[in-house]
Amino acid sequence: MNQKTVFKKKGREAALRALVRVEEDGAYLNLALPALVKNMDPEERALAVHLARGTMQRLNTLDWSVSLFSHRQIHTLTPWVRNLLRLSAYQLIYLDRVPVYAVVDQAVHLARRFGHRGVAGLVNAVLRKLAREADSLPWPERKQDPLQYLSITYSQPQWIISRVIERMGLERAEQWCRSNLVIPNLSVRPNQMRISPQELVDRLETEGFQAEHSRRVPGLLQLTSGGSPASTGLFKAGLFSIQGESSALVAPLLNPQPEEMIIDLCSAPGGKTTHLAELSKDRGLIYAVDLHQSRLQMVKKAVQRLKLQSVKTLLADGRTITGDNFSAIAAAPAAVLVDAPCSGLGVIRRLPEIKWRRSMQDLSGFQELQAELLQAAARLLPVGGRLLYSVCTNEPEETGQVVERFNREHQQFTLQKVPALLPAPLQREQENQYTASLQPDLHGLDGFFIAVWIKER
């Protein structure tokens, strides 16, 4: 057995271990994988990441395909065997360059390690049948059953698809589904207090990365090739942050100024907090609030890495926070950012685990939390204060309904025209002239929603 074959087995095992961790521990792939692949060569590491990610993205489709050839229902199997079948089915259906014998043989090998002889026989039989029929699976017909067609073809939960069809119609719903299978490039935000975007492009190139200026978000860079930017000396030196394009649009809409006090009510992991500090030239006062010490520690690490002096952290529940929490400060905040906890359904192309964890019942619970956070923020602001609400979702319960509710209960606040403040390419296809809705199929961005108010009286 040559070294390359050993590495390939290690890569598949790492992908399997990550998938089991996601299922059993509620982990996220982007957090579970690095420790599992850190000692692998780049090619094998990339394979492990691709297999784990692709399998998680296509989960329900893979379960459907396995069920066609198995006498055992997939939910009755152990997490190890269940995810091994999913991982192998992904390779057989979606990866043309992987030889069938390699997929089956290595799956049987892993089945023996994490199961028993009988399970290995089951895995072998199911995968050999699937391999023979992979090019002629009975995919659902679009005309006969549009809901099942979109769900299985594009790997989305049916409850999400049903809502998308209701809001958008079938044609656009299919575009939405297709766009959510496209994994976007990573984007990075230069710390412009220390380096210009073009300087960062040049320095990233010396470390093996290709970067280009974002066409949609001024000042942001997109990485088109390279490894992990977080492992570079440039990142560790605080010259940039890793941040999605939609997320990077939020802080500038508050127009932070030097000497202003701004409160970020749900600050972890710190991307928007540090952006606010950089935009105010690190001469303001940014309070980073979070409920959990472990998450607040992430903010502190980001602040230290970027060498920012204007950020103070506060461990508190944003829903019950009052001015007393900031009693050492004479002035009231000029602005409050509520980047609220949400369903996260706008970022499922990056974090596919989310779509399998959420249910429609979750949305009303998120709305209550979001409304409570906005109510707390409203109490903190003086006349003239600015309030920004953002969530990485486009679900009505967490977007338009939250805004309508806040408007009814806080008539002293006036909604601002956010779309007109966006970069020109993002002003098209907006639902109304007041709130911004960014969508993967229309804008090529993560799904995001943004609203801004001014307290008039």
Tokens of 153: 């073809």
Of 91, 89, 94, 101, nearest to 65 by C-alpha is: 89
Tell me the sheet residues that pair with 314.
Answer: 289
Q: How many CA atoms lie within 13 A of 343 on its CB side?
A: 27
Cβ–Cβ < 8 Å for 122, 69: no
- The whole-angstrom separation of Cα 418 and Cα 241 is 25
Cα 378 to Cα 390: distance, rounded to the nearest angstrom: 15
Phi (first) and psi of residue 207, to 5 degrees: -105, 15
Burial class (CB in 10 A: 0-12, 13-18, 19+), 394: buried
> Can you tell me the distance from the alpha carbon of 418 to that of 16, in angstroms, rounded to the nearest whole number?
44
What residues form DSSP beta bridges with 413? 455
* Active site annotation includes 392: yes
Yes or no: say if 456 and 413 are a contact pair by the CB < 8 Å rule: yes
In whole angstroms, what separates CA 238 from the centre of its chain?
22
Which residue pairs from 438-441 have beta carbons closer than 8 angstroms and sit at least 24 positions apart in sequence? 438/246, 438/249, 438/346, 439/176, 439/394, 440/176, 440/179, 440/180, 440/182, 440/346, 440/349, 441/172, 441/175, 441/176, 441/178, 441/179
Tell me which of 177, 266, 342, 392 is the catalytic residue.
392
Q: How far apart are the C-alpha atoms of 374 and 366, rounded to whole Å?
A: 12
Packing angle, helices 117-133 and 79-94, rounded to 10: 20
Q: What is the DSSP letter of 352?
A: T
- Name, in order, each residue with C-beta under 8 angstroms of 101's C-beta and a sequence gap of 6 or more: none
Instruction: Measure the CA angle with vertex 349, ends 97 and 357; round to 5°.
Output: 110
Contact 399, 437 (CB under 8 A): yes
Q: Please calculate the CA angle 205-207-219 and round it to the nearest 5 degrees.
A: 50
Q: Which of 297, 309, 457 is nearest to 384 (CA)?
A: 457
440 contacts 180 by C-beta, under 8 angstroms: yes
Residues that are catalytic: 392
